[in-house]
Amino acid sequence: MSEENRSIILTVDDTVTNIEVVKGVLFDDYLVQAALSGEVALKIINKRKPDLILLDVMMPGMDGYEVCKRLKADEATRDIPIIFLTAKSQEEDEAKGLALGAVDYITKPISPSILKVRVRNHLLLKASRELLEKQNEVLEERVLQRTIQLNELQDVTMVAMGALAESRDADTGNHIRRTQRYVKILAEELATTDKYKAYLQPDIITALFKSAPLHDIGKVGVADRILLKPGKLTAAEFEEMKLHTTYGRDAISAAEGSINIADNFLIFAKEIAYYHHEKWDGSGYPEGLVGEQTPVSARLMAIADVYDALISKRIYKDAFSHQNAVDIINEGRGSHFDPLMVDSFVKVVDKFYQIAETYKDTN
């Protein structure tokens, strides 16, 4: 890629060694600028805005929090994504950085693969947002074309946001691509039943497909020390992990409230994010709902998510075979899962297997 087409990353750190590490990780894909202080960083940004900023917190003079505050207060720079890259690992430090407007918070020492994927996904989200803003300039006589573009942009943005959550956990791979297709296949089969044929119309199934990638978006709020822990979580850590359902619901609720309309896509995204760990017998979380108290969207996702988790290798387990996964879901009929949905699942297990093979993780 030519230099003029590369995104510009500004890394701000008072330690030269840390800057060199970041350059080594990102040099092949981006133009990497560097500043050794907050004051110098602001001068560089005033001359040429970077596409993304990697910002240390602890620096002499102006610290990273103050730099972030000034950039977010300036209309010309408030939209530049800022990722804090720091040794300050306390929860209150991360909360302060995010409250100031940063899009992410990465603790040192950095993982090169995690840094790469988070930078990539935040740049993709930035590009998607900018494209969305430009849609207001489309002429009315091109309504059909604009509608197509907006639908495509929605798809890209949702996958990008799902990928952002996915990037927090290096083991999830193509998980969001597989699960959204499982949901679609399962919903289409369920739509052939007398109970759901009136409800699961094509537009509803399309909205379910598009919203499914956001089921784990709340994981961006879970601390790295918990999300990336290779061993079994403690009881307290698991309680924190369970909060990803609440974080996801709240984020989507905020988006829903900003547009003041009832939209199936956002409604389903919120339901799936919050309720996909509920169980038919009431033993799930976060609410302990029983049976059909859990929305249809979340009951569909529960089967899709568990099937994919079973057949996928994780740092804490080997992958189960397709048949073992099918057997386990059958065993959960009426306890973990909606019995009617399990019956529909059994009819499309070959399609689930085909999706799993088509979008198999490569690493």
**53 or 173: whose pLDDT is higher?**
53
pTM (predicted TM-score)? 0.57
Strands of the 82-86 sheet, one edge to the other: 31-35, 8-12, 52-55, 82-86, 104-107
Q: Per-residue pLDDT tens for 226-248? A: 888 888 899 999 999 999 999 88
The answer to whether position 94 is within a domain reads yes
Residue 115 structural domain: 3-126
In this predicted structure, what is the pLDDT of residue 213? 86
**Residues 78, 148 share a domain:** no
The mean pLDDT of the chain is: 86
The answer to whether position 260 is within a domain reads yes
**Cβ contact 168:346 at 8 Å:** no
**Residues 350, 224 share a domain:** yes
Q: Per-residue pLDDT tens for 334-348? A: 999 999 999 999 999
Q: Structure tokens of 207?
A: 């909205």
SS (H, E, C) 295-314: CHHHHHHHHHHHHHHHHCCE
273 pLDDT more than 90? yes
- Cα–Cα distance measured from residue 339 to residue 259, given in angstroms and rounded to the nearest whole number: 36
Sequence-distant (6+) residues with CB within 8 A of 216 are: 162, 165, 166, 172, 176, 244, 248, 273
Q: Is the dihedral of CA 195, 197, 201, 205 positive or negative?
A: positive
- Cα–Cα distance measured from residue 31 to residue 15, given in angstroms and rounded to the nearest whole number: 19
Residue 134 per-residue DSSP state: H
- Cα–Cα distance measured from residue 18 to residue 12, given in angstroms and rounded to the nearest whole number: 9
In this predicted structure, what is the pLDDT of residue 314? 76
In the block, residue with structure tokens 């001359």: 47
Amino acid at 89: S
In this predicted structure, what is the pLDDT of residue 171? 46
Q: How confident is the model at residue 173 (pLDDT cuts 50, 70, 90)?
A: low
- Cα–Cα distance measured from residue 356 to residue 181, given in angstroms and rounded to the nearest whole number: 9
Q: Per-residue pLDDT tens for 55-101? A: 999 999 899 999 999 999 999 999 999 999 888 878 888 899 899 99
In this predicted structure, what is the pLDDT of residue 93? 84
Burial class (CB in 10 A: 0-12, 13-18, 19+), 82: buried
**Residues 108, 172 share a domain:** no
Q: Per-residue pLDDT tens for 114-171? A: 999 999 999 998 888 877 777 655 555 555 555 454 455 455 455 545 555 555 554 4
The answer to whether position 330 is within a domain reads yes
Q: How many domains does the chain have?
A: 2
The answer to whether position 63 is within a domain reads yes
**Residues 186, 101 share a domain:** no
289 pLDDT more than 70? yes
The answer to whether position 221 is within a domain reads yes
CA distances to 90, 224, 247 from 229, in Å: 16, 8, 19
The answer to whether position 136 is within a domain reads no
